[in-house]
């Protein structure tokens, strides 16, 4: 592969006093790709993102963004980035369109080139009708879309999205995913951090799973599932307080049995056969469902924990 | 590059201010009118009838008070503009985070913020000067001569206050600066009476406050008299506060935002 990576990290480390937030991670992000950092809160995703965004000095290791050094060439890097932070940081006092205007000015764009761009971006974000409203009056989903529009004002080569849909209702999330998907189609390189496995599956071509500052696995959503999980999962639930006494009876019933506080997961390549076997053993759960493996299962396998505690 | 980035920060501050300026101009006029009417005219009559004049270098109380009050107002505006707006930028609205994700660097942000405070101080001192002239406290040329020392006084507070607001965790720190720093200075740094009236042990403290130097200089230039020390000393002292405050502001804002 002779494509030069947009972002390359080797042994990238971030420490805050005694605490190691990012612990010697390696990754390459290629042009045009949608790359994900999947992991629970506190895994080091945001710290990694801030170092890539050239607003957080690295503690050790090597990091290049567009082939540049984030410490000495931070301004040049930031000029080509779009950043969607975890928490919205729009200027609430001024109208929607002026938020974009002001932001464009920080990138040195002229008003003449900004106004047509703003019109285009507001229509992309479905906010044209709210152009003159104050930001404070917008819903959570609208603010999020405006933040994304703002991040696109300078036509960035790389868009950093930190937990883009956290706190949004399902409808707002799907609209946002649709917009991000369109950007991907247009060839914008995306880096997404998320603790939602469905988000990672929907948007990412390739992702790394992070836990405690380390990368524990890397691959496409599909290859990760193939490598670390089975085709199907049977979820078995019992009435409260009953599960503990029944755990032993699942021994050898599936390739892997995972006992969670509220349910038992049976990893199998043949769901029907496994469900049949549950009946044969005369186990009578409250409910039982057969589903496909997801990245959540990959994470559970790798770390022994669920993504959202 | 850095200069254009700085100007862009000023531009955005000005754009946000466009929505506030009407209310702001009204209070900026009202403040000196109320103070000069109550203290300068009301209280001033009593002072002028008593033995006051001899301690006021021969000026009537209104004339003595007005330029000092201009400097003290500049202190309040300079400190205030470097308190809550800075904390809002850092943690309430977090727009400093948004700005620093662009090519703008911390030093550009600090410079742009402080330059905008200087513009605000120019508006304040101009309006204050106009009110002084309308009250007959000083002539037009006196009001014009008060602008530069007035702005310098405000900046001597704005720069270190920006550093403090970048360093302190929450708004109680800001309130405490006003309660234990700004208010006592306002009352005891030569604005309302010469500091020679203070008990001997308090006078060195007054000398150390930037406000006293600002008041002394503004009054001297507005009234065409000699300040206690030479103007170079007074300006120099204010300049030290501005320069040290500015550097500390870059340091602490950087430490807070670029982590």
User: How many Å apart are CA B227 and CA B211, to the nearest integer?
Assistant: 14
What is the CATH classification number for the domain harbouring A185?
A: 3.40.50.300
A89 close to B (CB below 8 A) = yes
Q: Is the pLDDT of residue B120 over 80?
A: yes
- The boundaries of the domain holding residue A252 are 230-292
Mean pLDDT of all residues in B77-104: 95
Among B16, B88, B103, B105, the residue to mutate for chain A (most A Cβ within 10 A): B103
Q: Which residues of chain A make contact with B103, given a CB cutoff of 8 A?
A: 75-76, 78-79, 106-108
Tokens 């703008």 sit at which residue?
B104
Residues A47 and A112 in one domain: yes
Residue A300 is assigned to a structural domain of this protein? no
Residues A185 and A268 in one domain: no
What pLDDT does A192 receive? 96
Residues A147 and A261 in one domain: no
Q: Which residues of chain B make contact with A101, given a CB cutoff of 8 A?
A: 15
More confident residue, A309 or B114: B114
Q: Is the pLDDT of residue A270 over 60?
A: yes
Q: Which residues of chain B make contact with A92, given a CB cutoff of 8 A?
A: 93
Band of pLDDT at residue B196, cut at 50, 70 and 90:
confident
Mean pLDDT of all residues in B186-215: 92
Q: Which residues of chain A make contact with B11, given a CB cutoff of 8 A?
A: 102, 105
Percent of chain A with pLDDT over 70: 98
Residue of B19, B104, B258 lying closest to A93 (CB–CB): B19
Q: Is the pLDDT of residue A141 over 60?
A: yes
Q: Do A76 and B103 touch (CB under 8 A)?
A: yes
Residues A12 and A36 in one domain: yes
Handedness of CA B102, B103, B106, B110 (dihedral sign): negative
**Alpha helices, DSSP H, located in A152-239:** 170-185, 197-203, 221-228
Q: What is the ipTM of this complex?
A: 0.87
What pLDDT does A259 receive? 87
Nearest-Cα distance to chain B for A272, in Å, is 52
Range from A14-28, A261-275, B140-154 carrying the lowest mean pLDDT: A261-275
Q: Of the candidates A172, A196, A220, which is a domain's last residue?
A: A220
Enter the pTM of the model. 0.90
**pLDDT, chain A, mean:** 92
Band of pLDDT at residue B1, cut at 50, 70 and 90:
low
What is the CATH classification number for the domain harbouring A235?
A: 3.30.70.980
Restricting to A residues 26-85, those with a Cβ less than 8 Å away from any Cβ of B are: 50, 53, 55-57, 74-76, 78-79, 81, 83, 85
Q: Is the pLDDT of residue A5 over 80?
A: yes
Task: Give whole-number Cα distances, B13 to A134, B16, B85, in Å.
Answer: 16, 5, 10
Residue of A56, A107, A108 lying closest to B259 (CB–CB): A56
Residue A24 is assigned to a structural domain of this protein? yes
Mean pLDDT of all residues in A138-146: 92
Among A16, A66, A89, the residue to mutate for chain B (most B Cβ within 10 A): A89
User: How many Å apart are CA B16 and CA B37, to the nearest integer?
Assistant: 32
Residues A65 and A164 in one domain: yes
Mean pLDDT of all residues in B53-73: 89
Q: Do B95 and A74 touch (CB under 8 A)?
A: no
Residue A178 is assigned to a structural domain of this protein? yes
Residues A116 and A256 in one domain: no
Buried (b) or exposed (e) across B21-40, using 16+ Cβ within 10 A?
eeeeeeebeebbeebbeebb
Q: Which residues of chain B make contact with A52, given a CB cutoff of 8 A?
A: none
Q: Do B97 and A85 touch (CB under 8 A)?
A: yes
Tell which residue, A153, A122, A124, A123, has the closest CA to residue A135.
Answer: A122
Residue A52 is assigned to a structural domain of this protein? yes
User: How many Å apart are CA A51 and CA A69, to the nearest integer?
Assistant: 11
Residue A302 is assigned to a structural domain of this protein? no
Percent of chain B with pLDDT over 90: 76
**Number of domains present in the structure of chain A:** 2
Q: Of the candidates A192, A220, A248, which is a domain's last residue?
A: A220
Give the range with max mean pLDDT: A222-226, B28-32, B151-155: B151-155
Q: How many CB pairs under 8 A join A and B?
A: 73
Tell which residue, A220, A175, A180, has the closest CA to residue A201.
Answer: A220
Residues A71 and A197 in one domain: yes
Q: Looking at chain B, which residue has its C-alpha nearest residue A94?
A: B16
Residues A121 and A199 in one domain: yes
Residues A142 and A168 in one domain: yes
B259 close to A (CB below 8 A) = yes
What pLDDT does B52 receive? 63
Residues A285 and A160 in one domain: no
What pLDDT does B46 receive? 84
Q: Of the candidates A220, A243, A267, which is a domain's last residue?
A: A220
Q: Is the pLDDT of residue A308 over 80?
A: no
Residues A179 and A234 in one domain: no
Q: Which residues of chain B make contact with A154, given a CB cutoff of 8 A?
A: 102
Mean pLDDT of all residues in A11-31: 96
Q: Do A106 and B95 touch (CB under 8 A)?
A: no
Tokens 């990694």 sit at which residue?
A48
Q: Is the pLDDT of residue A1 over 70?
A: no
Band of pLDDT at residue B45, cut at 50, 70 and 90:
confident
Residue A112 is assigned to a structural domain of this protein? yes
Q: Looking at chain A, which residue has its C-alpha nearest residue B93?
A: A89
What pLDDT does A309 receive? 53
Residues A121 and A43 in one domain: yes
What pLDDT does A233 receive? 94
User: How many Å apart are CA B34 and CA A145, to the nearest integer?
Assistant: 47
Residue of A16, A78, A89 lying closest to B97 (CB–CB): A89
Band of pLDDT at residue B71, cut at 50, 70 and 90:
very high
More confident residue, A167 or A222: A222
Residue A303 is assigned to a structural domain of this protein? no
Buried (b) or exposed (e) across A25-55, using 16+ Cβ within 10 A?
bebbbbeebbbbbbbbeebbbbbbbbbbbbb
Q: Is the pLDDT of residue B168 over 90?
A: yes
Residue of A81, A94, A154 lying closest to B16 (CB–CB): A94
Residue A13 is assigned to a structural domain of this protein? yes
Per DSSP, what are the bridge partners of residue A62? A10
B197 close to A (CB below 8 A) = no
Nearest-Cα distance to chain B for A55, in Å, is 5
Do the Cβ atoms of A149 and A127 come closer than 8 Å?
A: yes
Do the Cβ atoms of A224 and A207 come closer than 8 Å?
A: yes
């Amino acid at each position: 592969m002779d494509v030069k990576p947009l972002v390359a990290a080797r042994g990238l480390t971030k420490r805050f006093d005694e605490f190691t937030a990012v612990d010697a991670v390696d990754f390459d992000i290629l042009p045009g790709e949608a790359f994900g950092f999947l992991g629970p809160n506190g895994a080091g995703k945001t710290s990694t993102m801030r170092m890539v965004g050239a607003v957080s000095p690295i503690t050790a290791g090597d990091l290049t963004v567009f082939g540049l050094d984030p410490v000495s060439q931070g301004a040049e890097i930031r000029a080509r980035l779009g950043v969607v932070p975890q928490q919205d940081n729009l200027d609430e006092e001024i109208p929607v369109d002026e938020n974009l205007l002001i932001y464009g000015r920080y990138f040195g764009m002229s008003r003449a080139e900004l106004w047509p761009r703003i019109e285009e971006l507001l229509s992309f974000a479905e906010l044209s009708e709210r152009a003159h409203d104050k930001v404070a009056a917008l819903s959570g989903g609208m603010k999020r879309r405006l933040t994304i529009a703002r991040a696109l004002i300078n036509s960035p080569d790389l868009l950093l999205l930190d937990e883009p849909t956290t706190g949004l209702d399902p409808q707002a999330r799907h609209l946002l995913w649709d917009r991000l998907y369109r950007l991907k189609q247009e060839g914008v390189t995306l880096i997404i951090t998320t603790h939602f496995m469905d988000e990672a599956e929907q948007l990412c071509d390739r992702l790394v799973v992070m836990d405690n500052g380390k990368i524990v696995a890397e691959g496409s959503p599909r290859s990760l599932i193939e490598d670390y999980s089975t085709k199907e999962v049977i979820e078995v639930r019992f009435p409260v307080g009953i599960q503990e006494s029944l755990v032993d009876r699942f021994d050898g019933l599936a390739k892997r049995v995972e006992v969670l506080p509220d349910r038992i997961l049976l990893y199998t390549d043949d769901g029907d056969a496994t469900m049949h076997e549950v009946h044969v053993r005369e186990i009578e759960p409250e409910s039982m469902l057969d589903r496909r493996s997801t990245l959540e299962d990959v994470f559970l396998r790798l770390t022994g924990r669920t993504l959202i505690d | 590059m850095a200069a254009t980035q700085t100007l862009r920060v000023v531009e955005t501050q000005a754009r946000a201010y466009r929505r506030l300026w009407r209310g702001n101009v009204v209070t900026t006029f009202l403040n000196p009118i109320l103070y000069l009417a109550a203290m300068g005219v009301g209280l001033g009559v009593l002072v002028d009838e008593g033995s006051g004049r001899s301690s006021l270098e021969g000026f009537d109380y209104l004339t003595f008070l007005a330029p000092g009050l201009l400097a003290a107002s500049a202190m309040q505006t300079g400190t205030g503009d470097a308190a809550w707006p800075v904390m809002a930028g850092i943690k309430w609205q977090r727009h400093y985070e948004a700005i620093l994700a662009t090519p703008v660097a911390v030093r550009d942000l600090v410079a742009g913020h402080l330059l905008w405070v200087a513009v605000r101080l120019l508006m304040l001192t101009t309006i204050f000067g106009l009110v002084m002239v309308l009250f007959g406290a000083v002539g037009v040329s006196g009001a014009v001569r008060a602008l530069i020392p007035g702005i310098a006084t405000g900046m001597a507070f704005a720069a270190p206050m920006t550093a403090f607001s970048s360093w302190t965790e929450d708004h109680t720190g800001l309130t405490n600066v006003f309660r234990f720093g700004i208010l006592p200075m306002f009352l005891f740094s030569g604005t309302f009476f010469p500091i020679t009236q203070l008990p001997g042990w308090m006078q060195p403290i007054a000398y150390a406050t930037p406000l006293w130097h600002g008041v002394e200089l503004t009054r001297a230039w507005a009234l065409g008299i000699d300040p206690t020390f030479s103007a170079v000393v007074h300006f120099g002292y204010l300049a030290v506060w501005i320069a040290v405050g500015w550097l500390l502001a870059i340091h602490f804002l950087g430490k807070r935002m670029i982590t």
